Amino acid sequence: MTESANAISILAAGEHVTPPVTGKKPGHFARITGVPYFGVALIVGCGIFASTFSQTGVIGLYPMRFLLKDKLGEGPLRVALFMQLANMPWNLKIISGIISDAIPIFGTRRRHYLIFSSFLAGLLWLAVAIVPPRFAPMCIMAIIMNIALVFVSTISGGILVEGGQTFGVTGKLSSVRVLAMNIAGLGVPLGALLATRVLGVSAMAAAVPLFILFFIALFLYKEKPSAKSNPKVWRDVKAQLKIAVGAKSLWFAAGLLFLVQFAPGFSTPLMFYQTDTLHFSEHFIGLLTLIDAIAGAAGAFFYVYFCRRLSLRQLLYGSVFFTAALSLLFLGYNDRNSAMLIEAVYCFVLSLAQLPLFDLAARATPKGSEAVGYSVIMSVWNWGLFFSDLFGSGLYEKYNMPFKSLVWLNAATTALVLLAIPFLPKLLVDHKEVESQSAAAA
């Protein structure tokens, strides 16, 4: 999978869903926060933007990769290992939601978590740039920084849910979230352009939105310090886990998503192929990632058309087939012109092809276990990406597998997943989206 595919997976991870807010009058949230609806939208938008833009897999993707490759002399396997370890806290995002819901800080469940985590994440980004330029200290600092970012993201999602339910504007705030994430995705090409400079420049670019969020939360977000520890949250999670463990549909879906992602990936090897074999500059790679982002966004819009006309099973067959087939385009990845064309076509179709997998994840989540169940599926998805990148990078580096041979292997192993689709439960996948919504309403 390419860098843009990895970014799509990162951006697809949903916010932690807090329990519904009940018993609140329309003005309650405004009294708690001290800001009207537009202020809530500002906090949510800035929080989602900062926690997405500042990830090591977004603004930090290329600066860190090029630092590891060119300055520290690390091979594909070690570069992939660094990036996957740094992003590991995002696989455990639900834990931050449980902690913030159960354990208030200074009597608040949102305000002080947002203040402390945004400020700490900004400082840690600066620390990443000044620690000794060695694998271990940089990786440890990046992991800690991502833990802080996970809390920023989770708390921002919690504010979205509370504010949306109180004002009746969940849809509007969700659109703010999507807009903020899409804009933040431009951090990938920006990071590629900044990769020619010292890491400190990229660290400053990543830290600025976090410090802005810190001041916004400090001065605009006023939460009444009346919250108390809530042990019921832990009991609720235990009950949700029990439901999730017993849900066969969830594990069928999780298994399929893992198999799709587990195919030996070529995300990190592609960067080495681009720079060592094709001699692409960092600036041109930045242009490619911008093309990826635009093409991926365009592909996502077309899914609305298909999901209402085809059953999910048909969409899944198409998803796996086209993911495998389009990978073969990289066999013709030989120069700048072919690179731009292939990246555009591949990312457009890949974005369209991956959405049925997220659709499957949402449908497979059992009622009564929405937060835990969906987090389990997305964690399995991310673990598949983890092993995929390491497996592909290891073959490329340790066993000297040529890049184009790795492309063939990726396509073949992805295509094998077609054999697993017939085993998915009929009730889960043999309906169009409209029919599924009607069934759910009934």
Closest by CA position to 267, among listed 413, 85, 78, 393 = 393
Closest by CA position to 17, among listed 285, 374, 295, 325 = 374
Task: Work out the widest C-alpha separation in the chain, in whole angstroms.
Answer: 64
Mean pLDDT of the chain: 83
Domain of 312 in residue numbering reads as 231-433
CA atoms within 13 A on the CB side of 397: 23
Report the C-alpha gap between 193 and 222 in whole angstroms.
38
Are residues 25 and 99 located together in one domain of the fold?
Answer: yes
Looking at the structure of the chain, the number of domains it has is: 2
Handedness of CA 27, 29, 35, 36 (dihedral sign): negative
Which tokens belong to 204?
């400053």
Report the C-alpha gap between 348 and 368 in whole angstroms.
35
The full DSSP string for 369-394 is -HHHHHHHHHHHHHHHHHHHHHHHHH
Are residues 266 and 319 located together in one domain of the fold?
Answer: yes
Q: How confident is the model at residue 9 (pLDDT cuts 50, 70, 90)?
A: very low
Task: Please report the pLDDT score of residue 27 as a whole number.
Answer: 42
Residue 211 · residue 152 · CB < 8 Å:
no
Strands (E), 198-296: none
Which tokens belong to 400?
């000297």
Are residues 77 and 174 located together in one domain of the fold?
Answer: yes
- pTM for the whole structure: 0.83
Are residues 190 and 281 located together in one domain of the fold?
Answer: no
* Residue count (the chain): 442
Q: Helices 135-167 and 93-102: crossing angle, nearest 10°?
A: 60
Three-state secondary-structure class, residue 108: strand
Are residues 162 and 239 located together in one domain of the fold?
Answer: no
Are residues 153 and 14 located together in one domain of the fold?
Answer: yes
Are residues 66 and 167 located together in one domain of the fold?
Answer: yes
Task: Please report the pLDDT score of residue 256 as a whole number.
Answer: 87
- Asked if residue 440 belongs to a domain, the reply is no
Which tokens belong to 93?
């995002």
Are residues 224 and 245 located together in one domain of the fold?
Answer: no
Are residues 242 and 202 located together in one domain of the fold?
Answer: no
Task: Please report the pLDDT score of residue 437 as a whole number.
Answer: 46
- Asked if residue 249 belongs to a domain, the reply is yes
Q: How confident is the model at residue 238 (pLDDT cuts 50, 70, 90)?
A: confident
- Asked if residue 120 belongs to a domain, the reply is yes
Q: How confident is the model at residue 371 (pLDDT cuts 50, 70, 90)?
A: low
Report the C-alpha gap between 261 and 89 in whole angstroms.
19
For tokens 């990936």, the residue is 265
Give the other-Cβ count within 10 Å of 105's Cβ: 17
- Asked if residue 165 belongs to a domain, the reply is yes
Report the C-alpha gap between 152 and 437 in whole angstroms.
32
Residue partners of 46: CB distance under 8 A and separation at least 6: 180, 209, 212, 213, 216
Terminal C-alpha separation, the chain: 40
Report the C-alpha gap between 26 and 32 in whole angstroms.
11
For residue 171, give the CATH number of its domain: 1.20.1250.20
Are residues 63 and 115 located together in one domain of the fold?
Answer: yes
- Asked if residue 369 belongs to a domain, the reply is yes
Are residues 264 and 362 located together in one domain of the fold?
Answer: yes
Strand partners, 108: 105
Which of the pair, 35 or 252, is modelled with greater confidence? 252
Are residues 340 and 356 located together in one domain of the fold?
Answer: yes
pLDDT tens track for 86-120:
999 998 888 888 888 888 898 888 889 999 999 99
